[in-house]
Structure 1
């Protein structure tokens, strides 16, 4: 990457930076994730590329995940190229400076549930779902969103008990407690994101694992439902929408299903899509998410060496 192709830095993290660059072959602007050359970061980048290759079997027109265009090396750094998107949902929330109505949340929730259903259908867990890792496209009448950043994503088969990675505010209780977990942790995080969008603040703003568990127990323990109901309807930050009272009740019911403490009873991504909350409002509501069978499956080792 040289000065002729680098336009500006879009974001920065422990992995390195994301830069807006110009593809000299197509002359199009792209987003390039430039990973540091450190050993740990290098291994994470390799794992991310493996996940991205595995995701090639998904239908890019409906899966609502960022499209990637391959990778290259810049000296000792692995650079991963993605389509250039508008802005993060976190920045969009700051720009709006208010909670979202249920009518505004419905298409966002549906698109994110579609993204998770797509990933889960091929055995991939995102592991770090949060507003910072969701991009919005404001060029349409209805807000379009896409899931990004697969740096922490893993196959379900590679999940290990005791791991607690990602951002604390969105960690499922089973991760906080160090018990076995699966892809349903993404559904918990989705519930947290939707609650945050509705209220304009974090649902459980704990600074430590203990704080997070205390918030969860206080809210969903004694009693589990009344506090959540009352808390949401009395929050001044949640924009009231009198015309959608029934939708609000169904929305809260759906969020509760995503935030169920008992993992065996927690709703999954496809069940979110099939929920009555979306009845008559989403054209292809009953379309099941499944990978493209015409694409060949590869194991994690082969996808790295077969570029």
Structure 2
């Protein structure tokens, strides 16, 4: 009998106007849901379903138990039956969420994945999901965080709200030291979030296997201080979020690059007008700020505390202690959490400082850590003060890579599609460089990948105090550029470091500040920047 019922059997339902639907706060996330209800002639249920939180992240819905109980009547079954006609039949990475039909999926290693993604290997656990490596047809590999769907409405509602919030936060983030969102998809069994890059390890593993005899490792670890501070300042002041769960396991290492990840419980306060919250459901107590234990409001300085704990562990390893040294000091005092053991923090800092005296250097980073690990929230530095202090520091090895060595970076990503091509007649030469002032500035740009025919976001540092044009090995490896050997050798002196290279690669990039492309043969170096354009002579042909 129920199958013969129609919308006329529900007289209390009133069809909403098109304007009411457009104005609903959930409408922009539910275009396919609205399309399904319109197609099944159940338009009067659009607003109730949107009110219940159902949106495109719910699709495909495999069974009626996931739908809101109050809507458990014929429209539910009609919705489930009709949804397959609007779901996508294939999947491409386009930095958005895509609900997929069965035609787009295939079984790989006992799990379902989009046919366009080839399963490679299991990577580990990430927040509430598992992380695996996949490969696209062009050969590039990505990390996918997979969430198994809940089967009941209330559980599904909470899970999908959390996943949607994480994805919407990831969409806002564009920083070289934060994980990059490539796209997400929905299947009947799972939701997958595709991210770049696939890391070599996390910071916890990096520190535990740290090789002190390798000089490049010390330089890399020292650079991580400035890079992480820069990423945190970007999140706090440019995007308007705080991470809320900074710990070594949520910091990735990819070659010489350090990357913040796992924004599953990040708070977006840009819509709230403030930066505190009384309720945080999931956080790691070891690195959590003292105000959390007191059940007091947390704000972005709570992130500063967590990063300060990580910095102290990094500092102890940098100064030739083991990665477990700080942990052992806390445990010797019967404590597991930093916030519960201020005397352990003081002893760890003192031990690192004493080792510095015996080696005739001052561990500069301890001054920042002391400012970050103030028990009272208001006494701590904010992320702008921290990043400024690090960027202005002078030490060997330097605490800030060239990629982040500026107090007021420009993070926006604009790209002019109107371009003229400027050909360069000889290697390591760019036009117009002789007119540039003797200052350093960094600007966003797009780097063209000849293999995939895709423009990738990079940052170009222009500095007339250095010579030639340089590109980091990280960027070369990341975009599989094709370097070549040269008969010459390039030398770069910067930040107390000297880099020598005999390998170059030709690149084409489009600066944000001009409607043209530039090409150059760049020396390949392990330094921590994307592209460095130095003082050159105009010899374009």
> Do the aligned residues in 2 keep the contact of 1:88 with 1:134 (CA within 8 Å)?
yes
TM-score (structure 1 length as normaliser)? 0.76
The structure with the largest strand share of the pair is 2
Matches within 5 A, 1:1-307: 2-3=107-108, 5-13=118-126, 15-24=128-137, 26-38=138-150, 39=156, 40-55=158-173, 58=174, 60=175, 63-83=176-196, 84-96=198-210, 105-121=221-237, 122-138=239-255, 143-156=256-269, 157=272, 159-163=276-280, 165-199=282-316, 200-201=323-324, 202=326, 205=330, 212=337, 215-219=340-344, 227=347, 229-233=349-353, 242=359, 245-246=361-362, 248=363, 250-275=364-389, 278-280=392-394, 281=398, 282=400, 283=402, 285-289=405-409, 291-292=411-412
TM-score (structure 2 length as normaliser)? 0.45
| C-alpha distance in 2 between matches for 1:277 and 1:294 | 25
Call closer, same or farther: CA 1:231–1:161 in 2, change over 3 Å.
farther
Q: Which runs of 5+ in 2 are unaligned?
A: 1-105, 109-114, 151-155, 317-322, 416-541
Equivalences, count: 272
Call closer, same or farther: CA 1:102–1:257 in 2, change over 3 Å.
farther
| C-alpha distance in 2 between matches for 1:18 and 1:51 | 18
Q: CA deviation at 1:214?
A: 7.2
Call closer, same or farther: CA 1:66–1:241 in 2, change over 3 Å.
farther
Q: CA deviation at 1:94?
A: 2.3
Q: CA deviation at 1:276?
A: 5.8
Call closer, same or farther: CA 1:276–1:81 in 2, change over 3 Å.
closer
Q: Which runs of 5+ in 1 are unaligned?
A: 296-307
Q: Which has the larger radius of gyration?
A: 2
Q: CA deviation at 1:109?
A: 0.7
| C-alpha distance in 2 between matches for 1:115 and 1:215 | 27
How far does the alpha carbon of each residue in 1:27-48 deviate from its partner, in whole angstroms, 9 at most, with x for none?
3211111012122433221110
Structure 2 counterpart SS, 1:118: helix
Higher-RCO chain (CA-CA 8 Å, sequence separation at least 6): 1
Call closer, same or farther: CA 1:97–1:168 in 2, change over 3 Å.
farther
> Do the aligned residues in 1 keep the contact of 2:123 with 2:132 (CA within 8 Å)?
yes
Structure 1 counterpart SS, 2:375: coil
| C-alpha distance in 1 between matches for 2:202 and 2:122 | 14
Q: CA deviation at 1:137?
A: 2.2
What's the Cα RMSD here?
3.3
| C-alpha distance in 2 between matches for 1:205 and 1:92 | 21
Indicate the residue corresponding to 1:300 in structure 2: none
Structure 2 counterpart SS, 1:152: coil
The structure with the largest helix share of the pair is 1
Call closer, same or farther: CA 1:276–1:96 in 2, change over 3 Å.
closer
- The range that moved more, 286-295 or 178-187, is 286-295
> Do the aligned residues in 2 keep the contact of 1:171 with 1:185 (CA within 8 Å)?
yes
| C-alpha distance in 1 between matches for 2:406 and 2:125 | 39
